[in-house]
């Protein structure tokens, strides 16, 4: 009885098409992480990827301008599998012909918001996203009267965010005079997890522009990530000081907050373009929502942060993953490093972002 059923299944053209599609997606992993070198940073940032099964990609554009509280965050993302972000269902992946060219239009989850005296959320929706490549590259998103766009070619870009015909934020972006302008990172590219991996481009730039019609200048952090791996809990803190100094901290929490297990922890402090790795740092948090406080400590570091605005993300497929962005100001800072002492008097006022991710998403 089993043989006729198997023969009928093998003869089913729709089954064959699904199998061919799955095989193509599995093969896309090899094209994405084994053969693609991303010769220039723009090759990764301005691109729609041919995503394999479990594939995801997202863009993150972040602007901070201490001593001002004003900050701007633009986030776009998509997944091969349908998923929900907040109340928005994203079910329209880019077509294969679009992905292979690296440009075209697609549906993405979009959350774009800024704080300028008060919080303004311009996108929290499914947006149409389009990428164009040529003399000047561009990535743009729109939903009704809300629009965002990033255009240019390394090393100079322009970014704008508008609603109902009014430009709420615009910026000219360029490399800093000191420090690393960008880095391309490949993660988990090894024989032990041959079907999992990630690649990212991080631009570390300066910017000048306007927010709510007022002049603003500071630091820009532009990131594109393409990944074939589950999302698991993490914390990330990035602080900019008025002098241009930066403190960055990341730690993975694969078993969540209640477990003491931390992986891939890394931190550094950068001053005058010189980056120094920090070790032994622990993160503690107190309170919830906009009352949340953050404390980074080690034998040589004490950094206290106060939340003044936040934006939640809840992502759902078969599981739930929560990702919250907190805008923070530095209330106290002391660091001993190579015989020098740094405090707020030395580096100036600090502002930044703290991310808290929990749950899992495959």
> Cα–Cα–Cα angle for 98, 157, 128, nearest 5°?
35
Q: State mean pLDDT over 285-311.
A: 96
Residue 103 phi, psi dihedral angles, 5° rounding: -145, 165
Give the residue extent of every domain in the chain: 1-228, 230-362
**Statement: the pTM of the whole predicted model exceeds 0.75:** yes
Mean pLDDT of 191-210: 83
If pLDDT is split at 50, 70 and 90, which confidence band does 39 have?
A: confident
- What share of residues in the chain are helix, strand, coil (percent, to 5)? 15, 55, 30
The CA dihedral of 104, 106, 109, 110, to the nearest 10 degrees, is: 40
Is residue 1 pLDDT above 90, yes or no? no
**128 Cβ contact list (under 8 Å, min separation 6):** 105, 106, 107, 108, 141, 142, 143
Distance CA 225, CA 45 (A): 8
- Reported as a single tens digit per residue, the pLDDT across 74-85 is 999 998 888 888
Q: In this model, does residue 5 exceed pLDDT 60? A: no
- Rounded mean pLDDT, 59-69: 98
At 94-118, the pLDDT tens digits run: 444 455 557 888 889 999 999 999 9
What is the percent of the chain with per-residue pLDDT over 90, rounded to a whole number?
66
Distances in Å between the Cα of 212 and the Cα atoms of 14, 145, 205, 215 are 53, 17, 21, 9
Handedness of CA 254, 257, 263, 267 (dihedral sign): positive
CATH topology of domain 230-362: AttH-like fold (2.40.370)
Please give the residue that has the higher pLDDT: either 318 or 277. 277
Percent of the chain with pLDDT over 70: 85
Residue 225: beta bridge partners? 58, 200
Q: Please give the pLDDT value at position 266.
A: 95
For residue range 227-276, list pLDDT tens digits in order.
888 889 999 999 999 999 999 999 999 888 888 898 889 999 999 999 99
R_g of the chain computed on alpha carbons: 22
H/E stretch holding 263: strand 263-271
Phi first, then psi, for residue 22 (nearest 5°) are -65, -45
Contact 74, 223 (CB under 8 A): no
Please give the mean pLDDT across all residues of the chain.
87
User: 277: how many CB neighbours lie within 10 A of its CB?
Assistant: 8
51 versus 339: the higher-pLDDT residue is 339
Judge whether 284 and 249 are in contact, CB under 8 Å: no
- Model confidence at 347, pLDDT cuts 50, 70, 90, reads very high
Region 220-231: what's the mean pLDDT?
92
pLDDT of residue 230: 84
Confidence of residue 181 (pLDDT cuts 50, 70, 90): very high
């Amino acid at each position: 009885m089993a043989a006729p059923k198997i023969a009928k299944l093998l003869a089913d053209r729709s089954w064959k098409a699904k199998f061919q599609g799955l095989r193509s997606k599995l093969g896309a992993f090899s094209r994405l992480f084994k053969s693609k070198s991303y010769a220039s940073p723009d090759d990764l940032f301005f691109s729609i990827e041919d995503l394999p099964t479990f594939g995801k990609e997202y863009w993150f554009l972040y602007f901070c301008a201490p001593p001002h509280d004003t900050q701007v965050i633009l986030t776009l993302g998509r997944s091969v599998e349908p998923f929900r972000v907040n109340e928005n269902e994203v079910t329209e992946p880019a077509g294969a012909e679009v992905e292979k060219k690296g440009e075209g239009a697609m549906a993405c989850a979009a959350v774009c918001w800024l704080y300028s005296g008060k919080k303004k959320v311009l996108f929290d929706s499914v947006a149409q996203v389009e990428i164009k490549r040529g003399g000047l590259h561009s990535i743009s998103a729109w939903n009704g009267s809300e629009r965002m766009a990033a255009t240019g070619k390394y090393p100079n870009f322009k970014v704008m965010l508008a609603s109902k015909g009014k430009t709420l934020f615009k910026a000219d972006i360029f490399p800093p005079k000191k420090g690393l302008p960008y880095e391309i990172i490949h993660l988990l590219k090894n024989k032990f997890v041959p079907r999992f991996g990630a690649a990212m481009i991080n631009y570390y730039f300066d910017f000048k522009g306007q927010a709510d019609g007022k002049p603003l200048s500071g630091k820009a952090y532009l990131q594109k990530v393409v990944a074939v791996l589950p999302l698991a809990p993490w914390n990330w803190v990035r602080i900019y000081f008025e002098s241009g100094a930066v403190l960055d901290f990341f730690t993975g929490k694969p078993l969540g907050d209640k477990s003491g297990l931390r992986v891939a922890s890394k931190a550094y402090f950068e001053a005058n373009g010189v980056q120094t790795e920090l070790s032994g740092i622990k993160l503690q948090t107190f309170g919830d929502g906009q009352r949340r406080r953050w404390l980074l400590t080690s034998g040589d570091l004490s950094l206290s942060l106060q939340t003044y605005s936040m934006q939640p993300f809840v992502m759902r497929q078969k599981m739930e993953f929560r990702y919250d962005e907190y805008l923070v100001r530095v209330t106290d800072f002391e660091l001993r490093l190579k015989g020098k002492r740094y405090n707020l008097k030395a580096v100036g006022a600090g502002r930044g972002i703290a991310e808290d991710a929990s749950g899992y998403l495959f």
